[in-house]
Amino acid sequence: MPDPAPAPVILGNETGSFPHSVLAERHPAIIRQVRASLPYGPERQRALDALLADCTEGVIEPLPPDAHDGDRWAAWGLDTYAGQSWFDVPWLWSESYFYRRLLDAVGYFGPGPEQAIDPFRPVKLTELDAPATDEELAALDGLETRPPDERAQALLHGSLWGNRADLGFRLSAGGDTPAAAPGLVADDSRTLWSLLPPSGTGTLCLVADNAGRELVPDLLLMAHLLAEGRVERAVLHVKPHPYYVSDATPADVLDALRRLTAAPGAAGAYGRRLWAATTDGRLTVRAHPFSCAPLPYAEMPDDLRAEFAEAALTVVKGDLNYRRLVGDRRWPPTTPFADVTGYFPGPVAALRTLKSDVICGLDAGTEAALVAAEGQRWRTAGTHALIQVNAGTDGGRGTGAGA
């Protein structure tokens, strides 16, 4: 694949832009939400005050000298960016470092009583326990009588649109999940299914995004692929620690599995199959440190590269992972997806609802129609979605649904 000339990296310093609003408004709102979620003591409150002042008006401060991951962050660019405004460095980097600092402020890395307490757990659990989750799980009963291909496509779309249920996103979308617009801006699902044939012996890697109502349909999709014999093994990549409010951690996977196994009907059966797959090793959970890195996947370390290289397919979920997959840059929207993901070591699919400016792989007509209807709002509104696949070869690419 030809490497496209790199487009400018997205920064957060343009007043009125979406990235600027995340740094200037969403991050303070997240600090308020964290304060309201758990009764942090005076020391933690002071640390949160300091972070609030720092991330809105100050400069990027280094980590404490004894930080367990100081070397890692130095390698990830902290030495370069310390002392600069949060708004003037790559937006992806700035956002990621915000969550690292937030965890410090609430004592997550300890020692102390708050060690390993997820500041976002209350909101994650509220969502997982919501009646809407019951309704989604009950809908599985109706799917059981459908032909396997139809069920597969429904579960794929469940996983895709589950990405709307992102708690950080809803914070600034006014509290409601945005309504879905019908149709996808790109749909390579036919290619995706061609990489997961019914008698598959390979491994699926699924790079998860959010916990709760996104992770549940991700798990259902994996359960289906394992049960139908499209893959022999599945590896679920989650974040090693709380991140971007609702991103899934290993603890969230256990919560989701318990939620599923406790459900009535088909959902409970899916849960029990997943439980069995976990205990016999067909489904494993990984929490690689790079999953919380402030960097694009093009810079992934060798061990992770080797894992993805061996997979029959790596499915990358959500908006943030998309930004990391294609690079958080101002690509012309028609830049081919295969070109910007040509570095990826194996077949890769993105399932994403559009919640930030970056986009590639659109055909010119689709872009023109979106702009004519909405200006640039379609990029960030969370109402459009895509399925893009780089099969790793020029052959076998296709468009349209069909499991």
Ligand X SMILES: O=P(O)(O)OC[C@H]1O[C@](O)(CO)[C@@H](O)[C@@H]1O
**Residues of this chain that bind ligand X (CB under 6 A):** 22, 26, 95, 163, 166, 168-169, 209-210, 244, 318-320, 323, 355-356
CB of 29 to ligand X, least distance (A): 10
Place of tokens 């109402």: 383
Q: Which residues, 6 or more positions from 288, have their beta carbon under 8 angstroms from its beta carbon?
A: 237, 240, 303, 304
CB of 359 to ligand X, least distance (A): 12
Compare residues 163 and 366 and give the one whose CB is closer to ligand X: 163
CB of 141 to ligand X, least distance (A): 28
The pairing of beta strand 385-390 with beta strand 348-353: antiparallel
Q: Where are the alpha helices (DSSP H) in 38-165?
A: 42-57, 70-75, 78-81, 91-105, 121-128, 131-143, 148-161
Q: Which residues, 6 or more positions from 364, have their beta carbon under 8 angstroms from its beta carbon?
A: 334
The type of residue at 328 is D
CB of 258 to ligand X, least distance (A): 22
The type of residue at 118 is D
User: Among 103, 144, 122, 116, which residue's Cα sits nearest to residue 39?
Assistant: 122
CB of 317 to ligand X, least distance (A): 8
CB of 355 to ligand X, least distance (A): 5
Peptide bond between residue 111 and the one before it cis (omega within 30 degrees of 0)? yes
Order across the sheet with 283-286: list the strands. 186-187, 385-390, 348-353, 313-317, 203-207, 233-237, 283-286
